[in-house]
Amino acid sequence: MAEQKNKVTAIQQKPKNKREMNIGILVAAIILVYLVVTVFMYTTSKQVFVYEVRRGSIVRDNSYTGFIMRKEHVVNAQESGFVSFFQSENAKIRAGSDIYAISGQKLETESGDDGQSVSLNEEQRQNLLNRTQNFYENFNEDKFSTVYSFKNDIQGILQNASSQNKDARLRELISGAESGISVYQSEQDGIVVMTFDGYEGVSEEALEPDIFERTGYESRYMEDQMNVNQGEPVYKLITDDNWKIYIQLSEETAAELSDTAMVRTRINKENETIWADFSIVKKGNVSYGCLTYDNSMIRYAKERYVNVELILTDQSGLKIPKSSVVEKNFYVVPADYLETIGAYNEGVLVSTEEEAVFQSVDVLPASEDAHVYLNPSQFEEGSVLIKPGSTETYVLKETVPLPGVYCINKGYAVFRPVTILCENDDYYIVQEGISYSLSNYDHIVQNASEVEEEEVIFQ
């Protein structure tokens, strides 16, 4: 019994040498190894970023405070009293037209209960209807600026009707008045304005940086039925449709615009743009831009200061990142070495030891019509071309660098030359519709400096 007990004890004390495998630990180890390898390959391999070409535009404009000068003069009252105007502000009048009347007491010139009603005659109503119908039938969302033209037309019709009603009412009061009322006429053709600011006689000689500061600027508006003293301003007359806006320029902008004769502008952030003749006025060390207009003056007749944007760039085309553009050398070849077989097969005759062989090529037009550019990857260095119908030859050696991108539509990098129209800090606008160049929705390499031509690219 003792011997059997000792045997059992010995068996129980025998250590286990075989350990069972843990599947979870094995799977975790495999995943860890995979992640390490993946991260290593990602950080050490070349990264290629793909960009889809889209149509776009680049607008570059500079905003300034503009100071308006025009041909204008203030007309002073010839006697004291209450002023009643026959004309509305911004009304165009002829020489000899009645402008205002002076009375000893206020006249009730408003015919409506609320002072705002306007009566239209049959001709004015028909004109209003025709303008509205024409706008409704021809409106195009792509030309939203026509809304502002329509607005100006309607305002002009209503203003004209208001002036006629006011004129009739005032003449009725004058004819029935017991005391004398003096009526004064305009001595010139022009536009009537009732706003004064003291700059009416200012000229280009007065230009200085301080004049562009609006701090402390004050203007006075002459309202109907205001009391005016003899010799005080009663209205202002603008006698020329030509007008100017002056802006202060930095040295860099003045140098950039030194050869500019015309520029497109936007005033007071309106949707419409206006072309202006442009010149630079130098006074001391300061340069001023002079914008000269021959239209739209009446819209800003009451203004002295306006916000002016110079639209220096407004170009549309294909928009691509600057980082996608690289340069490649192309052969410069006289255009008369080209030969066309059939309708579209354009190429050159390449001289070999035995004969001249026609080779199709990608032809890019040069800036000069007498030359074209040929892709050097399509030729061996030193190839000799033969002029069609002649024994003259041309050796391929002269090259010029052309900008382009790597197009990867086919899975590998193909150089496509581009014509750059304009740029900003991050993008180029390139021309669309050029043979062997880019099209909308093409895929290109964004970091082109990391890629070689003909390299296979996995998107």
- CA–CA dist 448, 394 (Å, integer): 33
Residue 441 has pLDDT above 50, yes or no: yes
Q: In this structure, what are the phi and psi dihedrals at residue 95, rounded to the nearest 5 degrees?
A: -60, 135
Residue-range domain boundaries for the chain: 118-184, 321-450
Q: What is the mean pLDDT of residues 362-373?
A: 78
Which one-letter DSSP state was computed for residue 316?
E
What confidence score (pLDDT) does residue 115 get? 45
Q: Which residues pair with 55 in a beta bridge?
A: 318
**Which amino acid, residue 104?**
G
Of the ranges 43-57, 104-118, 144-158, 185-199, which one carries the lowest mean pLDDT score? Answer: 104-118
Answer positive or negative: Cα dihedral of 418, 422, 427, 429: negative
Strongest mean pLDDT among 25-39, 99-113, 419-433: 419-433
Task: Encode pLDDT of 117-170 as tens digits.
Answer: 556 667 667 777 777 877 777 777 765 656 766 776 676 666 666 666 666 677
Two structure tokens written together for 389: 């119908």
The upper half-sphere exposure of residue 386, i.e. CA atoms within 13 Å in the direction of its Cβ, equals 14
Q: Is 164 helix (H, G, I), strand (E, B) or coil?
A: helix
Q: Is 192 helix (H, G, I), strand (E, B) or coil?
A: strand
Q: What is the mean pLDDT of residues 386-411?
A: 90
Predicted confidence band of residue 66 (pLDDT cuts 50, 70, 90): very high
**Between 240 and 435, where is the model more confident?**
240
**What pTM was estimated for this model as a whole?**
0.61
What are the CA-CA distances from residue 131 to residues 121, 135, 142, 150, 162 (Å)?
A: 16, 6, 20, 8, 18
Predicted confidence band of residue 85 (pLDDT cuts 50, 70, 90): confident
- CA–CA dist 412, 455 (Å, integer): 5
What confidence score (pLDDT) does residue 26 get? 80
